[in-house]
Structures are given as C-alpha cells and as structure tokens.
Amino acid sequence: MPTVYTILFAIIAIIALLTWILPAGRYDYVTAETGQTISAVESLDYAGGEALLPIPGTFTELESSPQGVVDILMAPIQGFHNAVDVALFVLVIGGFLGVMMNTGALDAGVASVVKQFRGSEQVMIPILMVLFGIGGSTYGMAEETVAFWALILPVMSAAGYDRMVTAGVILLGSGVGVLASTVNPFATGIASGFAGIPIGDGIGLRALMFVILEGAAIFFVMRYAAKVKADHSHSVLADITFDDEFSRESKVEEFTGRRKLTMAVFFGAFLVMIYGVMPLEDMGIVAVPTLGWWFAALSTLFLTTAIIVALINRMPEGDFIKSFLNGARDLIGVALVVAVARGIYVVMENGMIIDSILNWAEGMVTGLESNGVFAVVTYLVHIVLSFFIPSTSGLATVSMPLMGPLGDFANVGRDVVITAYQSASGWINIFAPTAGHLVAGLALARIPYDRFLKWVMPFLISVLVITMVILFFAA
C-alpha cells in the first residue's frame, strides 16, 4: 500500500486530468452574513471576507482553464500557503503535547487510577475507558495510548482478565473518543476550517454521540470481561500462552501534586478551547460573551499553556524548547499531509471544476428522499474514502471543500457533514491495519490481529448502525 502522500499526489494528477475533460463553471453565490448575491463571474475575484454559499440551480459554464504538469507540481506548495494557519496550529498542538508528555503527568495520572482501583478492576474498566475517550475526543489521543499497554496489561491479567480486555479498554476507549470527537483539532478542527464554520458548531450532537457510543463500548468490554473472568475458556485468546515482560507489573511514577496541577492545566486548556469556539450567541446564550476563536487564537492558547506547564514543572528553558520542537516534529507529517491534500483543492479551484462536480452531485442529492438519507450516504462515502486516504486530517482537507457545499444543497448543516466524516474516519481507524497505534499495541501484547478483528466485529457493526441512526435524525 503506498503512503498517503503518494495517494494524494495521484489524486492531484487525476484531478488535473479532469480539468481537461470537465466543463469549467461556477454557481452564483450568496454571502453567509449579509445575504448579498454574487454572480458566477464576480465570485472568481470575491475578496469580501464572508463565507459564500452556492445558490442551487444557478450553475454557469465558463471558459475552461486546464491544469498542466507545472500546476500539479506547484499545487502542494500553493496548498501549504492556503492552509498555513491550519498547519501551524497542528505544529503548535504537537509542541504542546510534547511538553506534556515530558512532564510524565499523563502516565502518572493513569497509573494513579490503576493503583486506586486495584482489586476493583471491574470498576476500573469504565473509568479508564472514559479517560481514554475524553483524550480521543479532545485531542485525538491515539499514538499516546501505546505507552499504557505495559501499565494496564499486568493489572488486568492479575485480576483474572485476558489481554483482549486491555485491548478493549485502550483501543475502544480512545477509538470511540476519536470517532465522536468534540473539539479534536486533527479531525473536527481541520474539517471545520475547510468547511468554513466554527469548530463549536455541532458540538452538542458530537457530545451526544460520545455518551452513547462510549457507553456502548464500555458495555461491550465489561460484558466480555465478566464472561472471561467467570470462565477463561470463553476468552478468544484461550489457546495462547503468554510469558513475557508484560506478565509482570512495571514500575510507575508517582502522581505528585505538581503533576496533578499539570493535568488540571492540561484539561483546563481544552475547556477554554471549547468555550472559545462555541457559537454561544447563535445558541441564544448572551450571559457570557461569544469569543469566536479561530486557528490563530487557538494556537496562541496552546502555546501559552505549554509555557505554563513548563513553569509548573520547573522545566529548564533548553528542555522546554527541545520537548516542544520534538513534539512539533512528530506532527510535521500531519502538517505536510494537510498541505498536499489542500493541493487537490488548488487544482480544482484553478481549473474551475469544483462547481462542475457540485453541479453533477446536486442532481444526485435532489433525487434523494430526505436530508437524513443524504447524511447517511455522506457517512458511507467517507468510509470508502477512509480506506484510500487513511489520514484523518488529509481526508478532511480533501472532502470538506466539496461535501460542505453539497450539504447546503441537501439542506443539511455543514456540522452534520463534518460529524459524518469524522465518524467514518474514526470507525475505520478502530480496526484498520494501517493504524499505527493499533498494530503497535497488539504487537506489544502479542495479540494476533485476526483475533482482535473477529472479537471487535460485532461492536463495529453496532457502531455502524447506531451512527447511521443518529446522523439520520440529526439531519
């Protein structure tokens, strides 16, 4: 399987070829706030600053502008220029997480929970899954979970559970959180940016999904855990004997007062982020001001929080810079994926075929029986796209410029379209063999991938159905 960069470059080339085949054209638009009508020709040079919404049935063909080899090579560079605010936000978040991980507060916090509930592991399962779920929902916690396998595996084994329980706690806990992201900057944030709406739009729906699906995951894991503890023959790993370093408990660091304060600041930053991006005024809440933060303000928030975390932990200036740069370096790949994926939009925009594709899709949407069906179809389409574009941020960058306006035609809010996209991407990444944190965790625990897939499949089918029902009624 080629890397996501190669896939995206191939898509850029295919889109460039389409600019030679498809007729160029534009819709007439209306400005989102003032309601001013912008003609198809005028929209080419519009610089008014308001979001433009296409007017159904107004597509006008224009002179074609086919894209060549030079345009293909320049597309990712222009894409980076167009998405620099998103890319910078990704790097700052990476730096912030790098500083946090260097403090050891997150590891010590989870270790403290494990220690507190030793002997009551049945209670520990939902608590840990909710913690991992909150991490997935707020900052896309995935790769960070690999470190916790060595901590949780011995405890669960000592309590009479098999290793699949640990896999469920970590992978399903965080995976469902990512699926039902509320303010996850790598999914909700990037998608909202390219859909042209605040990150906080639709947060109520996504919070509801988080509660329902995380509850379903907890029920699934706890039911299996109870069966295995009562009769080990019910374990899907019953025929495998484990004797490795994870059969013994590992030493964990103390959850000191300083680390508790660090975790309070960590979660506080995300609470401030939620407040900053929520469209309170649109929700009829006027008692507190609506901040309307966007990527520049959010980058500033997390840079400031990283500095506060460093000060709390008395981190030397050199260590702080090193941790921040190491964290940012880990996410350079994500920033570049956004740039290359944005290059697809650049080629479509310069070739003036975005609206041509929308015009074709408009006819399909018009034939649908309801906007609920559109939401479900959008979800299923993104599941297919997720197989070919496994990068969450890359998929958001590719799909939102098209799917957002398409939702306008179907009278479906762009926030619902974003929820459909991230639910599909999150669903795939719960079990996809291309998900690095999944294969790394299973490899560390010596759990065969096919056993995990067989075990998790009933839950995946349930999530698929529940998500479609929620999206149908939300739309």
pTM to 2 decimals? Answer: 0.73
CB 151 within 8 A of CB 111: yes
Residue ending a domain, choose from 37, 62, 87: 62
Is residue 187 exposed (0-12), middle (13-18) or buried (19+ Cβ within 10 Å)? buried
Same domain, 29 and 94: no
Alpha-carbon distance of 158 to 416, in angstroms, equals 44
Same domain, 139 and 182: yes
Name every residue whose Cβ is closer than 8 Å to that of residue 421 and which is 6 or more positions away in sequence: 187, 191, 378, 382, 395, 396, 399, 400, 403
Average pLDDT of the residues in 22-40: 84
β-bridge partners, 31? 52
Burial of 150 from C-beta contacts in 10 A (0-12 / 13-18 / 19+): middle
Share of the chain above pLDDT 70, in %: 93
The residue-averaged pLDDT of 419-443 equals 85
Q: Are residues 190 and 53 in the same domain?
A: no
Q: Which pLDDT score, from 0 to 100, does residue 16 have?
A: 92
**Calpha distance 447→449 (Å, rounded):** 6
State the angle between helix axes of 149-158 and 121-139 in degrees (0 to 180), rounded to the nearest 10. 160
Over the chain, what is the mean pLDDT? Answer: 85
* Sequential DSSP letters for 44-105: TT--SSS-EEEPTT--EE-------HHHHHHHHHHHHHHTHHHHHHHHHHHHHHHHHHHHTH
Please indicate, yes or no, whether residues 81 and 50 belong to a single structural domain of this protein.
Answer: no
Which residues make Cβ contacts (< 8 Å) with residue 403, sequence separation at least 6? 195, 378, 382, 417, 421
Q: Report pLDDT digits (tens) over 253-271.
A: 788 889 999 989 988 888 8
**What's the confidence (pLDDT) of residue 199?**
84
Q: What is the pLDDT of residue 17?
A: 93
Whether the predicted pLDDT of 197 surpasses 60: yes
**Of 189, 207, 203, 396, the residue nearest 295 (C-alpha):** 189
The answer on 176 and 37 residing in a single domain is no
Tokens, residue 253 = 């660091």
Over residues 91-111, mean pLDDT: 86
Q: What is the pLDDT of residue 335?
A: 82
H-helix or E-strand spanning residue 37: strand 37-38
Residues 303 and 438 in one domain: yes
Boundaries of domain holding 262: 4-24+63-474
pLDDT value of position 149: 82
Calculate mean pLDDT across residues 380-400: 79
Same domain, 139 and 31: no
User: Contact at 8 Å (CB) between 204 and 187?
Assistant: no
Same domain, 72 and 43: no
How far does CA 101 lie from the centroid of its chain?
20
Query: For residues 418 and 191, is the Cβ–Cβ distance under 8 A?
Result: yes
Q: How many separate domains does the chain show?
A: 2
Q: What is the pLDDT of residues 220-233, one digit of tens each?
A: 999 999 999 889 88
Same domain, 39 and 152: no
User: Does residue 373 share a domain with residue 459?
Assistant: yes
Same domain, 318 and 424: yes
pLDDT at 248: 53
Do 300 and 379 reside in the same domain of the chain?
yes
Phi-psi label, residue 391: left if phi above 0, alpha if psi -120 to 50, beta otherwise: beta
Q: What is the mean pLDDT of residues 122-145?
A: 86
Closest Cα partner for 401 from 108, 197, 233?
A: 197
Q: Which one of 243-252, 255-264, 337-346 scores highest in mean pLDDT?
A: 255-264
